[in-house]
Amino acid sequence: MTQSRNIMWFDPLLRAKTTELAHSVQCLRDALLLRETDSGARKRARKEADKEKFGLAVEALACNLILLSAIKSGPKLAVPRSHGFLWRGDGGANPVYGQHFLSAIDGLASLGLIEEEQRGYRLSDKMRVPSLIRPSAALAEHLPLAPPDWRSVKQMDDRALIILKEGKDDDGRAATVAFRETANTRQLAGQMRRINEFLRSADIEVTGQNTGRVDHGDAPGAALAVRPNAIEFACQGRSLPVG
């Protein structure tokens, strides 16, 4: 019962590229923390380390919502909520994820800055639907959405630059497969890192657009622009040399 929808999957590696966006994200974080305190959602104030984690989640969500708003087909953002995904026991969870991530989503919704289109569930590998959110008109008061300033967003390197994956499921997603690190894979990772750095500094121009939005059709998870880490997929799959 997995469905092929007009959705964009949440990317935990997106961050603010410009000082202007970083400042906007900081102000948004402070507004969410104030709301949290005033509403009594938390009995205690967050410690500084907890505020940093919360701010990281807010930043990643903000950058994803900016890119989402820049796609002309108007997709929804699929965000993870499952305990098994957010609190992975193997130590491989992204620092964006955790209770602070769910609190950031709930805070945005409580301020009317996002709309929760659907709460996801999973009954089995075949019977599942994702949780979907989308920005409300009020979010433009806090983030550059009119028009969406997608150039103010960057993508960080993943900790694993070379990934081996299984075949894709009905949603076009594939589980990762563990492999032994060798001199060959370390060399590939170094090459990928240099490619990513080059693409981040490249002056990429989107022509024929005057609305700030990019038309990528209705394909689920359509990429907005050149995403540096997307090149990793050239090294993924069964053809990856691991020996």
**Whole-prediction pTM value?**
0.72
Model pLDDT for residues 225-239, shown as the tens digit of each residue: 334 443 333 333 333
Backbone phi, psi, residue 145, to 5°: -115, 0
Alpha carbons 197 and 123: distance in angstroms, whole number: 41
Q: Tell me which of 46-60, 78-92, 172-186, 215-229 is least confident.
A: 215-229
Model pLDDT for residues 63-108, shown as the tens digit of each residue: 999 999 988 888 999 998 887 777 766 556 788 999 999 999 999 9
Alpha carbons 170 and 59: distance in angstroms, whole number: 30
Model pLDDT for residues 154-168, shown as the tens digit of each residue: 988 777 777 777 777
Is the omega angle on the peptide bond into residue 148 within 30 degrees of 0, that is, cis? no
Q: What mean pLDDT is predicted for residues 185-191? A: 83
Instruction: Name the percent of the chain lying above pLDDT 90.
Output: 37
pLDDT of residue 228: 41
Buried b (16+ CB within 10 A) or exposed e, 201-234: eeeeeeeeeeebbbebeeebbbebeebbbeebee
Is the model more confident about 113 or about 230? 113
